[in-house]
A = this chain, B = another copy of it.
Amino acid sequence: MDETTPRDGADSLAFDVFSRQCPSRGTLEHVTGRWGSLTLTALYKTGARFNELRRRVDGVSEKMLSQTLHALERDGLVLREAQPTNPPRVDYELTPLGREVADRLLGLIQLVESRMSEVLDARSRYDEAREVTL
């Protein structure tokens, strides 16, 4: 389906990430993108201010974190709350839907982390096989 097709909330089959024009593909990219998955899961335990979040997501630039947060906020996954303080303070936290997404991502991350020795063994075998044939 394309972005202009009327949508029925009850009909989840109408959305298909395998179709390049479906808006669900964009949302999948926001939540799985280079920084999206880390930003969502970094907010899982507690909300955070921008700089705290930047420390949690090691290696993200200010610009990339800002873009990532905007996309996640627009998709209704992250809530941005500006506190009426002086200087102004902005807190980020997950929405209920963002929490469900982060929950799935955490399961994926834990699986990857727990099986990295298998992955590294596979990489060694792959690289050795290529050395032999080159």
Contact = CB atoms under 8 A, between A and B. Distances in A.
A64 interface: no
Interface residues of A, number: 56
A20 B122 contact: no
B114 A12 contact: yes
Contacts of A90: none
A112 interface: yes
A23 interface: yes
A90 to B, nearest CB: 15
Contacts of A37: 28, 32
Contact of A7 (B29, B108, B120): B120
Copies of this protein in the assembly total 2
A23 B116 contact: yes
A111 interface: yes
Contacts of A13: 113
B74 A122 contact: yes
Interface string A94-121: 0001001100110111011111111111
A9 interface: yes
Interface string A17-38: 1111001100111011110011
A108 B76 contact: no
